[in-house]
Structure 1
Amino acid sequence: MAVEGHVADGFDAVREVFRELVDNGAETGAGLSVWRGGSEVVRLSGGWADSERRRPWTRDTLVQPYSVSKPFASLAALVAVRDGALDLDDPVSDHWRGYGRRGKERTTLRHVLTHQAGQPRFPAAAAALDPLDGAGLRDSLAAAAPEYAPGTSLGEHALTYGHLIDGILRASAGTSLGEVFNDVVRPALGLDAWFGVPDHALHRVADLEHADPGWARRLPSAPWLATPSGVLDAGLSNSSAWRQGVFGGVNLHASASTVAAFLAELTSEDGPVRALLGPRLHEEYLAPQVTGHDEVFGTRLTWTLGFLRDDAKIAKGGVGGSAAWWSIANGHACAYLTRRLDDHSRAAAIAAALGDDLTVAPVS
């Protein structure tokens, strides 16, 4: 399998690690992008974008990176806050009337965006729902009791994150997560990314594949990903219906270059993210919001309004191996997006070649 692209002087070790991942079969299709000082210093494509091994991965290939989607979904919510449709600390029930029951009366948007809303998974009542039944899944969350009192604990809202944001936007602003992202966030930031891939871009989307058939069952997060059934099935994820639907916690489709470029300008005081949100919300977006034991990750960590953060980086990974981060310590941004669903050892090897460590520690 070919590796194509370019690396600037000083980044040869990154190319060698990426080439080895492709050559030894650990990677069957991925894009890697690193930005530093306003330039893309690494842009590499390796392997194939399709299951039949006929379509090489290119710089324009789009792929679903699972939870790397979450910081982009949270931007849609923050745009609604910017526009005055709601406030971060408003009770969700002030807008979403059906939501404020069974212990969720004081849940806020801030609780949702920082994974403290007590709904880290869909309730058992949603088990038989089609994963593309957005209304049914939102209704199941509104009807369910939280697993803990909102604001008292945390655990990544692995699949529910986007549906909670979507429900809040529909109730407060009369719009949806997909509409705000695609019509406002995407053009403002110049992103080659969509929630709901348009017809003209479908041919660019990479097929997902499992490293082995039992991969999903062995995940530590498997209990939080089981309902509704099928979200991790490649047959569903590779369908046009899924790619053109919106499952906001996981199914952004993006290129590696656009994710890395976004992160490279993430903290800039004259960058596009600050221009989109304004100074106050930009600072809120990136600031540490809560530190504690995350029940899904099983470790102590710090959440912002969408990212994980520690003293060295602002980052987000996705189940299956994709990862993206802004290195506070080293001043570069990196996105490694893959179609081969396995662990994060590949992204960790790339990070090590850059002098980064993807292990997430609490903010000191």
Structure 2
Amino acid sequence: MQPSHQHPTHPATGTAPEMMATLQGLLDRAVTDGIAPSASCAVVLDGVPLPVLTAGTAVPDTFFDLASVTKLFSTVTALSLVDDGTLELDAPLGGLLPAYGHGEKAVVTLRHLLTHTSGLPSEWRGWERALGEGRTFEREALVADLLGTPLEAAPGTRFAYSCAGFNTVMALAEQATGQTWADLVRNRVLALLDTDGITGTPPLERSAPTEYQPKLGRGLVRGIVHDEAAWSLGGLSGNAGMFATAAGLAVFGEALRTGMPGILSPALAAEMWRSQLPDMLGSHFNPADPGFGQGLGVRINQQPWMGALGTEARGHGGFTGTSLLVDIPRGVTVALLSNRVSPSRDGDDATGLRKAVSDVVYSGATS
């Protein structure tokens, strides 16, 4: 059942009904134009949630594959282990991971991984090698292959977005605790949020489909992580594998905006938010590069999709057509979900939709 398009002004926010109508129009047009078969959006202004909007085949309780928005959950999970002394942000990984005990890798730290400054490549393709050799996925062997990934640059000399780095965070946390990554994320983050709208194992009947992948023997992927690396590693992983409804993701966004109360210490929540690259890169940092904006896990001021007024925004986008934007100074949280990779990843990447939604929300927040 589609929500009503009638949105009265909210007394706590002064939100004009025109903003909600405009957002609904953007979602509807994205479906009509073939950007995605379904979309959903949840906005929170100054702590007040507005009605969830949907378009296409989505309803408010539809779960979407978050893709790399998962990295925000991975970051909070890892930082919770820093809070209790299990991990250290600036200790070399070699103390726990022997593959990082020698050569240039010997200086890589958790902070390097969370800020994409480790020197690791963007992707780890061990899953593809395993399939090419006709092998089934054996997680222990795959993790060993992941940890053997060579660096492409010396740590601290470049910023280069790395999914491989976030799967290394997962391996580090599992080694330090002896627990599965799924258990760590569930017990340290999800169980402490007031929502059942976020999970690594969504109900199939409520999951938006993603890509049709017959060459991988997967058919139409639905309710299972789209990202192939995460799929090979068993599902929920460091780089991808989380699913959420728009309202559920907005709950997490509000937790980020208010400092992850009950999950992270105030000091570590503030450190997560702080711009890290000037310190991490030193003389290699180029403040004129618009792509440079990174806290611990969170992307900062990503103008192509955070919007013209999102200069202080933090958040993350996902390959499947998802994003979470959080802005503390302006009191804004925007969870935008779509399945733009269904049935093929070759279409519009939804950046224009994300930016348009951000611009409309900021306009409404300041009106």
TM-score category of the 2 structures, normalised to the smaller one: 0.7 to 0.9
Q: CA deviation at 1:99?
A: 2.9
Q: Sequence identity of aligned pairs in percent? A: 25
Q: Is the 8 A contact 1:3 1:19 kept in 2?
A: no
Q: CA deviation at 1:157?
A: 0.9
Partner SS state of residue 262, structure 2: helix
Once residues 31 and 2 of structure 2 are traced to their aligned partners in structure 1, the CA distance between those partners, rounded to angstroms, is: 8
Q: Please, what is the CA RMSD of the aligned residues?
A: 3.1
Q: CA deviation at 1:127?
A: 3.7
User: Could you tell me which residue of structure 2 aligns to residue 197 of structure 1?
Assistant: 201
Once residues 271 and 210 of structure 2 are traced to their aligned partners in structure 1, the CA distance between those partners, rounded to angstroms, is: 34
Q: Is the 8 A contact 1:192 1:255 kept in 2?
A: no
User: Could you tell me which residue of structure 2 aligns to residue 144 of structure 1?
Assistant: 149
Asked if residue 302 in structure 1 is aligned to residue 293 in structure 2, the reply is: yes
Q: Is the 8 A contact 2:197 2:247 kept in 1?
A: no
Q: Is the 8 A contact 1:32 1:337 kept in 2?
A: yes
Partner SS state of residue 352, structure 1: helix
Question: Which stretch has the larger CA shift, 145-154 or 15-24?
Answer: 15-24
Partner SS state of residue 293, structure 2: strand
Once residues 121 and 109 of structure 1 are traced to their aligned partners in structure 2, the CA distance between those partners, rounded to angstroms, is: 16
- Which structure dedicates a bigger proportion of its chain to strand? 1
User: Could you tell me which residue of structure 1 aligns to residue 315 of structure 2?
Assistant: 315
Q: CA deviation at 1:170?
A: 1.7
Asked if residue 112 in structure 1 is aligned to residue 116 in structure 2, the reply is: no
Query: What count of residue pairs does the alignment treat as equivalent?
Result: 320
Q: CA deviation at 1:314?
A: 0.8
Q: CA deviation at 1:69?
A: 1.0
Q: Which residue among 242, 254, 261 is the counterpart of 1:264?
A: 254
Asked if residue 208 in structure 1 is aligned to residue 213 in structure 2, the reply is: no
User: Could you tell me which residue of structure 1 aligns to residue 345 of structure 2?
Assistant: none
Once residues 275 and 309 of structure 1 are traced to their aligned partners in structure 2, the CA distance between those partners, rounded to angstroms, is: 24
Q: Is the 8 A contact 1:3 1:47 kept in 2?
A: no
User: Could you tell me which residue of structure 2 aligns to residue 86 of structure 1?
Assistant: 87
User: Could you tell me which residue of structure 1 aligns to residue 274 of structure 2?
Assistant: 287
User: Could you tell me which residue of structure 1 aligns to residue 140 of structure 2?
Assistant: 135
Once residues 207 and 188 of structure 2 are traced to their aligned partners in structure 1, the CA distance between those partners, rounded to angstroms, is: 22
Once residues 95 and 124 of structure 1 are traced to their aligned partners in structure 2, the CA distance between those partners, rounded to angstroms, is: 23
- Partner amino acid, structure 2, of 1:346: L
Once residues 197 and 103 of structure 2 are traced to their aligned partners in structure 1, the CA distance between those partners, rounded to angstroms, is: 37
- Which structure dedicates a bigger proportion of its chain to helix? 2
Q: Is the 8 A contact 1:191 1:258 kept in 2?
A: yes
Q: Is the 8 A contact 1:188 1:276 kept in 2?
A: yes
CA 353–239 in structure 1, closer or farther in 2 if over 3 Å, else same: closer
Q: Equivalent residues in 2 for 1:137-176 (5 A)?
A: 137-158=142-163, 160-176=164-180
Partner SS state of residue 61, structure 2: coil
Question: Which stretch has the larger CA shift, 325-334 or 242-251?
Answer: 242-251
Q: Is the 8 A contact 2:312 2:329 kept in 1?
A: yes
Q: CA deviation at 1:234?
A: 7.2
Cα deviations by residue, 1:246-293 (Å, 9 ceiling, x for unpaired): 233022111111112221232325xxx132111121111111111578
TM-score normalised over the length of structure 2: 0.77
User: Could you tell me which residue of structure 2 aligns to residue 17 of structure 1?
Assistant: 26
User: Could you tell me which residue of structure 2 aligns to residue 4 of structure 1?
Assistant: 3
Q: Equivalent residues in 2 for 1:326-345 (5 A)?
A: 326-328=326-328, 330-341=330-341, 342-343=348-349, 344-345=351-352
Q: Is the 8 A contact 1:102 1:145 kept in 2?
A: no
Q: Is the 8 A contact 2:255 2:261 kept in 1?
A: no
Once residues 340 and 154 of structure 1 are traced to their aligned partners in structure 2, the CA distance between those partners, rounded to angstroms, is: 27
User: Could you tell me which residue of structure 2 aligns to residue 45 of structure 1?
Assistant: 54
- Partner amino acid, structure 1, of 2:314: I
Once residues 208 and 294 of structure 1 are traced to their aligned partners in structure 2, the CA distance between those partners, rounded to angstroms, is: 37
CA 178–47 in structure 1, closer or farther in 2 if over 3 Å, else same: same
Q: Is the 8 A contact 2:277 2:295 kept in 1?
A: yes
User: Could you tell me which residue of structure 2 aligns to residue 32 of structure 1?
Assistant: 41
Q: Which residue among 351, 356, 361 is the counterpart of 1:354?
A: 361
User: Could you tell me which residue of structure 2 aligns to residue 220 of structure 1?
Assistant: none
Cα deviations by residue, 1:304-350 (Å, 9 ceiling, x for unpaired): 11111133311211123211101345321101111122311221221
Once residues 152 and 220 of structure 2 are traced to their aligned partners in structure 1, the CA distance between those partners, rounded to angstroms, is: 28
CA 303–240 in structure 1, closer or farther in 2 if over 3 Å, else same: closer
Once residues 204 and 337 of structure 2 are traced to their aligned partners in structure 1, the CA distance between those partners, rounded to angstroms, is: 17
- Partner amino acid, structure 2, of 1:285: M
CA 25–263 in structure 1, closer or farther in 2 if over 3 Å, else same: same
Q: CA deviation at 1:126?
A: 5.6
Q: Equivalent residues in 2 for 1:212-251 (5 A)?
A: 235=219, 237-238=221-222, 240=224, 242=231, 245-251=235-241
Partner SS state of residue 266, structure 1: helix
CA 84–43 in structure 1, closer or farther in 2 if over 3 Å, else same: same
CA 328–183 in structure 1, closer or farther in 2 if over 3 Å, else same: closer
Once residues 299 and 309 of structure 1 are traced to their aligned partners in structure 2, the CA distance between those partners, rounded to angstroms, is: 10
Q: Is the 8 A contact 2:61 2:245 kept in 1?
A: yes
Q: Is the 8 A contact 1:303 1:309 kept in 2?
A: yes
Q: Is the 8 A contact 1:302 1:308 kept in 2?
A: yes
Q: Is the 8 A contact 2:170 2:237 kept in 1?
A: no
User: Could you tell me which residue of structure 1 aligns to residue 72 of structure 2?
Assistant: 71
Once residues 285 and 208 of structure 2 are traced to their aligned partners in structure 1, the CA distance between those partners, rounded to angstroms, is: 31
Once residues 128 and 108 of structure 1 are traced to their aligned partners in structure 2, the CA distance between those partners, rounded to angstroms, is: 27
